[in-house]
């Protein structure tokens, strides 16, 4: 079988599911024609940057989409009250509900 990323022929045991959209943003469409090495590279270099982007984390919080750890991100962890140095924290439970 040939990997669609590196174009190398490898045995079927060297392949894993590649999510077209990362599963941590709700992706459930997968391909099985990406080798494990390329899949890991995509996960660490592309998927992680996408899923850790603040805008994407806000959407994941609003839609309550957990990541691989099972937790919903909280990009609103700390903020300042406008015009002051007073810090506030936004705290959510594991289901994305405000505490």
According to the model, what pLDDT value does residue 35 have? 95
Cβ atoms of 78 and 89 within 8 Å: the answer is yes
Both 41 and 72 in a single domain?
Answer: no
Both 47 and 70 in a single domain?
Answer: no
According to the model, what pLDDT value does residue 21 have? 85
According to the model, what pLDDT value does residue 11 have? 93
- pLDDT per position as a tens digit, 27-77: 889 989 999 999 999 888 888 888 888 899 999 889 988 887 888 888 887
According to the model, what pLDDT value does residue 33 have? 94
Neighbours of 24 (CB within 10 A): 21
According to the model, what pLDDT value does residue 10 have? 95
Range of the domain at 75: 65-99
The structural domain count of the chain equals 2
According to the model, what pLDDT value does residue 92 have? 85
1-24 average pLDDT score: 91
Give the predicted TM-score (pTM) of the model: 0.65
Both 70 and 47 in a single domain?
Answer: no
pLDDT for 81 beyond 90: no
Helix (H) or strand (E) segment spanning residue 33 = strand 30-35
């Amino acid at each position: 079988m040939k990997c669609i990323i590196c174009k190398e022929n490898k045995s079927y045991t060297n392949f894993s599911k590649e999510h077209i959209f990362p599963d941590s943003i709700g992706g459930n469409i997968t391909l099985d024609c990406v080798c494990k090495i390329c899949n890991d590279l995509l996960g660490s270099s592309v998927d992680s940057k996408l899923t850790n982007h603040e805008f994407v984390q806000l959407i994941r919080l609003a839609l309550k989409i957990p990541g691989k750890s099972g937790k919903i991100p909280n990009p609103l962890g700390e903020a300042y009250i406008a015009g002051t140095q007073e810090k506030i924290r936004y705290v959510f439970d594991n289901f994305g509900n405000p505490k």
